Amino acid sequence: MAVPIGQLVPSILAIITAAVILILLSLNYLLNRFPPTIFLSLFFGGILLWAITKLVSLLLPATASITFVLIWKITSLSILILSLLMIAYFRDLLLYSTLSLPSVFVSLLAGFTFSALWFGGFAEVEYNILTGWNTSYNAGFGHYVFYVILLLYLATVYFFILKMMVQGLHKAILKKQKTQIALIVTGLAIAAIGGTVLNYLLNLIPGLENLGDMDLIFVVIGFTFVAGAYLRSPIHIYFAPIAVYKLIVINKDGLPLLTHDFNEESNAALTIDSAMISSALSGVINILQETLSSGSTPKIINLEDKVLLLENTSLALYALITVKNSAVLRAALKDFSREFEAVFIEQIKKFDGLVDVFEDAYNLIVEDFPFVVSD
């Protein structure tokens, strides 16, 4: 007997929504090349696969092998766990070169949850003519044990994500950033609280399993909020504000082309009294190259309380003084160097000491470093 069409609606809606969001994120990345878009795309790709497996599990016939259905269902839940793990890594992958302690803890929980899911013997399936194949996790040595393990994992992931968002909200400066992060927090709350609570009610209260995958509705609505808020202004994403002090550009003769102070606004931020900084920076790099017997320029120099990010091209050296190493900042510095040289290539080659010719560089800085906050 075929499963009623109403049971298929949540999964179909989730598939359509995730697919549309993925298309929009892909188009946005082609335009902006902003790293967070990649991680969000991976996450929504996981949500799309999860929704597809949920739909397929509803369409599996009653004659299907129980073992096959069980493996299919477990795989579906595994995809969701992995997708959430990607989001848990989001901040670390963008801001650090290694995982933070919270991410390590989440990873351990994910591994424990996977082990319980695949090898704990908790999962079992049965066929219902109204809802198709249903999964419960009450088998094994204890009722509700796996539900507790999974709830602990979900609660931990959502807690760290929401904590990160709230911290970003407190540090946000622009109204656009505050609005964006508030919408993202709202969407996460809908998906995390609404979706998770309803899912547990559907699985634990007898009789409610006939409602099917209605929890997917909350997931769809919640993550639509998240994607919509992000796509409104991806470059203003405020998961974790980054403090930066100065941007310095030096030509191959060691002469400063421009120095941008992120604590200033408008063209006043383009300071020209940067000869001392440029000389010192060139000297440090030359010493490192000679000491290490290497012609290459280091990408990162760690100081006691600052970090120096470097991008070296055939025309100039670009340096960013910031508080921490960051994948976002490295990508932004690389993009700025490419765009700066595309606009000012003749001025760089024929530089005669007049830095006024680089005044329009301020617009490029605003475009490439919109997520930076002054310290």
Domain ranges across the chain:
5-236, 242-373
Residues β-bridged to residue 246? 261, 321
CA 289 to CA 283: how far, in whole Å?
A: 10
Full pLDDT tens readout for the chain, 375 residues: 456 666 778 888 888 988 998 998 888 878 766 666 777 787 788 888 888 887 887 787 877 888 888 888 888 888 878 878 877 776 676 666 567 788 888 889 999 999 988 988 888 888 777 667 777 777 656 667 888 888 899 888 888 877 777 777 776 666 777 787 788 888 888 887 777 777 767 666 666 555 556 777 888 888 888 888 878 765 555 445 567 888 888 888 888 888 888 765 544 444 444 555 666 666 666 666 666 655 666 777 777 778 888 888 888 889 888 877 777 788 788 888 999 999 999 998 888 878 888 888 888 887 777 666 544
- Going from the C-alpha of 241 to that of each of 165, 175, 214, 223, 237, the distances in angstroms are 10, 14, 36, 22, 9
Q: Which CATH number fits domain 242-373: 3.30.450.70, 3.40.50.1980, 1.10.287.470, 1.10.760.10?
A: 3.30.450.70
| Dihedral sign from CA coordinates of 5, 15, 62, 135 | negative
Strand 307-312 versus strand 316-322 pairing type: antiparallel
CA 269 to CA 251: how far, in whole Å?
A: 19
pTM of the model: 0.65
Tell me the CATH number for domain 5-236: 1.20.1070
Structure tokens at 107: 């990873």
Distance of CA 123 to the CA centre of its chain: 31
